[in-house]
A and B are shown apart, each in its own frame.
Chain A
Amino acid sequence: MTGFLQRPWIWAYLAAAAAFIATMYVSGGQGAGSLAYAALTFAAFAAIVGVGQMFVITLGPGNVDLSIPATMTLAGTLALKFMATDSSLILPGLGIALGVGLICGIVNFALILLLRIPPIIATLAASFLFQSVAIWSNRGLRIKPPAPLADFSTGGLPGLPNLALVAILIAIAAWVLLERGLAGRWILAIGQNARAAQLSGVPVNAVRFGVYVGSAVLAALTGFLLASFSGGANLNMGTEYMLMSIAVVVIGGSSIGGGSSNVPGIWGASLFMFLIVSMLNSYGLGAGVRLILTGCIIVTVVAFASKRSHSA
């Protein structure tokens, strides 16, 4: 039992469960199923971008991808515009979205490498560009997704939304990469000590390139799914995911200092981030309290986690 409690991701799940129970307490147990279903759906978006951000943060101090919202918006906008509600273009549309992610990731890393600027500034500057392209191509039009795609993104098996299924598959893939894959080992090594990793033959630039591209592609996929789910892309759809993506990584038990990732925690934290909102809503507390609470949780988790890494 103690070994179980020492897993850093367990706390995110316990917190999510507590929020779930607290919500149910108010409603008297009504709507538990629909709340769980909604939580799985919305947590899926945070989980997918969170996995990408997790790999970036794992690369070590200073590594963070601030272009996730812009990439999401751009990918969602361009893909929906391309498909133009035509069902036969769904797969090419997905291809467009992933291609946008690929390009955004390459731009990000090119700026980091060529301008030798901290990733936070590079992704920030790049996000300005992505956002502008998105605004320009969007023109205030709201193009609906093709009907089958909309059905897919809002539908699901009983008790398991399709989106959650996608996000779980991605999380499993990320977990396998991290635990079994060569690349995962290399990412973790770089995050602990980039110089030592390089002196042990790790191809540092190739790994960092892959991580930034991967983060952008996952953000693009999320943008595509989110636009399909919410009946069209809009320019603000990514905004909350900048903070969200970092928050789920931190709360999920990955080390902010890099070198230690935690895939299950991403899911726990994503569920928690949704459930805490519904809990506060059910208690009649507004957005203000929710934001303050979220902020306090992040700061506390960081302070707590860094204490642990100091003593270790």
Chain B
Amino acid sequence: MTREHLRFMLPILSLSILLVGVFYLQPRAMSYFGLNLLFNLAIPVALATIAQMMIIMVNDIDLSIGTFVSFCACVTATLVQDTPLLGYTVLALAIVGYAAIGAVIHIRGLPAIVVTLGMSFVWAGLAVLLLPSPGGSPPPWLRTLMTMKPPLVPFAIIAACVIAAVTHLFIKRSSFGVLLRGVGGNERALERSGWSIVWLKAAAYGLAGLFGVLAGMALVGLTTSADANIALRYTLLSIAGVILGGGEFTGGRVSPIGAVIGALTLTLAASFLSFLRLSSDWQIGAQGAILILVLAVRLLVSRREGAA
């Protein structure tokens, strides 16, 4: 069994254990509606996690994804609903903005943590300007999409699989995905072969922006209204999700399927506690504990391999 297999198995294992636990405590969750309820809110988290993964893939960390998703949610609930053309233009510009930030960070050699932190103020400010108090409503098509009830398998599960499959194909299978991961793995090797790191980094940030926009839209579709602080916790959740899913902070080692599973695990951890009849006070703590536990297990595994 190689390290790659273990890396892949660990997230699946942790999700399975949690799922078994939930089903054991609450057998009724093992139904169409039960599953939909458990995983519904996981869709925007998964999309935000994929966005974060794009940034971590090129060895940076994005501290603004939470406020960015909030901003996108506000745009979707207001501009897209009222003046669709303007709304979609703003979302497209936001993606371009993200790509530009990536390029600037690389060209000027800026610390991504601080720049994205600064940008988080900007996104939050824009969101507040758009929607000073909670409100707005999603475009009808979005609402219809997010509340779809396909036969047999709940929408949340299908959506998670689609997100995982599409990003997996793009990041792991396409020849462009190889280059993006190569930036995280050995920037100099790419530079020597004549690739433009600026463009690749901009592309990675742009993709993060795209998935951030999707996360914001999905969130509004589910909650039917937006507010400027709606997704603040996504910054931390998305980082945790990438790591839970087997990604590493540096070296371009990320797994899109793992990231989606990581997002599902984090969402499920919250429900699990309520089934345990533990107060929801421990919800955040449980997410932190799972993160620490997984990192510790991973360290033990790599140590054992190092010794072998």
Contact = CB atoms under 8 A, between A and B. Distances in A.
Does A associate with B in a complex?
Answer: yes
Contacts of B118: 247, 294-299, 302
B129 A288 contact: yes
B236 interface: yes
Nearest to B280: A135
A56 B123 CA distance: 26
A295 B125 contact: yes
Nearest to B116: A299
A127 B239 CA distance: 13
A115 B299 contact: yes
B142 to A, nearest CB: 24
B238 to A, nearest CB: 11
Contacts of B114: 246, 250, 256, 298, 302
A117 interface: yes
Nearest to A133: B285
Contacts of A61: 111
Contacts of A307: 108
Given A125-B240, A307-B108, A291 B284 contact: no
Interface string A159-190: 00000000000000000000000000000000
B125 A292 contact: yes
Interface residues of B, number: 44
B92 interface: no
Contacts of A297: 118
Nearest to B122: A295
Between B120, B125, B126, the greatest number of chain A beta carbons within 10 A of the residue's beta carbon is seen for: B125
A286 B128 contact: yes
A135 B273 CA distance: 15
A288 B132 contact: yes
B125 A287 contact: yes
A291 B229 CA distance: 13
Contacts of A306: 108-111
Interface string A63-93: 0100000000000000000000000000000
Between B113, B249, B286, the greatest number of chain A beta carbons within 10 A of the residue's beta carbon is seen for: B113
A253 B225 CA distance: 41
Contacts of B132: 286-288
Contacts of B120: 243, 295
A128 B295 CA distance: 15
Contact of A128 (B113, B123, B243, B291): B291
Interface in B246-293: 249, 279, 281-289, 291-292
B243 A121 contact: yes
A298 B122 CA distance: 10
B55 interface: no
Given A306-B109, A306-B110, A118 B249 contact: yes
Contacts of B283: 132
Contact of A291 (B121, B285, B287, B299): B121
Given A116-B299, A128-B236, A136-B281, A289 B288 contact: no
Interface string A111-133: 10011111011001111110111
Interface of A: 61-62, 64, 111, 114-118, 120-121, 124-129, 131-133, 135-136, 139, 243, 246-247, 250, 256-257, 286-299, 302-303, 306-307, 310
Given A121-B239, A296-B122, 13 more contacts: A121-B243, A124-B236, A131-B284, A132-B282, A135-B284, A139-B281, A250-B114, A286-B132, A287-B132, A292-B129, A295-B120, A295-B124, A303-B104
20 contacts: A62-B113, A111-B292, A115-B292, A121-B243, A121-B249, A121-B291, A125-B292, A126-B288, A128-B287, A128-B288, A128-B289, A128-B291, A131-B284, A131-B288, A132-B288, A246-B114, A287-B128, A294-B121, A299-B122, A307-B108
Interface of B: 61, 104, 108-111, 113-115, 117-130, 132, 236, 239-240, 243, 249, 279, 281-289, 291-292, 295-296, 299
Give the top 9 A-B pairs by smallest Cβ distance, nearest first.
A128-B288, A132-B285, A295-B121, A291-B125, A298-B118, A292-B125, A288-B129, A295-B122, A288-B128
